[in-house]
Amino acid sequence: MKKFLNIMKKLNENKNGKVITFDFDNTIVKSFENGAEPEGNYQFGGLNYEIIKRMKKFKEGGATVLVVTSRHQVKEDPQTSIRTMLDSLGLEVDGIFYTNGQPKAQKIYELGSSLHYDDDPAEHEAIKAYGNLHKNDITVKFPDDLISDTNEVAKGVILTADGLFVIAQRSDSYEWDAVGGHLMKGEEAPFAFWREIKEEMGLSVHSVEYLGSMDTKWKKKKKLVHYFMGRVSYTKEELKGAIELQWELSDYFCGNFSAIEEKLNSPEGATQNLQNTINFLLKENLLFEIEDFQKKMIKPHQKGKERLLRTGPQDEIPATGMENVIDMKRSKSAPPGFGAIGEEKEAKRKKKLKIRFKSELDEKKSKKKRKKGKKRANKYHWGVPGWDYGGGYGEGGSDGGGE
400 pLDDT band, cuts 50/70/90, is: very low
pLDDT at 264 over 70: yes
105 pLDDT band, cuts 50/70/90, is: very high
Looking at residue 189, its pLDDT comes to: 97
Looking at residue 362, its pLDDT comes to: 54
How many other β-carbons are positioned within 10 Å of the β-carbon of residue 35? 13
CATH code given to domain 8-146: 3.40.50.1000
pLDDT in tens, 305-319: 455 444 444 444 444
pLDDT at 175 over 70: yes
pLDDT in tens, 107-134: 999 999 999 999 999 999 999 999 888 7
* Contact of 214 with 229, CB cutoff 8 Å: no
295 pLDDT band, cuts 50/70/90, is: low
Structurally, what CATH architecture does the domain formed by 149-283 represent?
A: Alpha-Beta Complex (3.90)
pLDDT in tens, 1-15: 555 455 555 555 444
Looking at residue 320, its pLDDT comes to: 45
Average pLDDT, the chain: 76
3-state secondary structure labels for all residues of 283-352: CCHHHHHHHHHHHHHHHHHHHHHHHHHHCCCCCCCCCCCCCCCCCCCCCCCCCCCCHHHHHHHCCCCCCC
pLDDT at 353 over 90: no
pLDDT in tens, 375-397: 444 332 333 333 232 333 233 33
334 pLDDT band, cuts 50/70/90, is: very low
> 8-146 and 149-283: same fold?
no
Looking at residue 137, its pLDDT comes to: 83
pLDDT at 291 over 60: no
* Contact of 270 with 299, CB cutoff 8 Å: no
More reliable by pLDDT, 353 or 241: 241
329 pLDDT band, cuts 50/70/90, is: very low
3-7, 133-137, 302-306, 320-324: which is most confident: 133-137
pLDDT at 350 over 50: no
More reliable by pLDDT, 78 or 16: 78
pLDDT at 140 over 80: yes
366 pLDDT band, cuts 50/70/90, is: low
Percent of the chain with pLDDT over 70: 65
More reliable by pLDDT, 340 or 403: 403
Q: What is the mean pLDDT of residues 158-172?
A: 95
pLDDT in tens, 68-84: 999 999 988 888 899 99
Q: Domain ranges in the chain?
A: 8-146, 149-283
Looking at residue 323, its pLDDT comes to: 47
Looking at residue 162, its pLDDT comes to: 92
Residue 400 CA to residue 403 CA, distance in Å, equals: 9
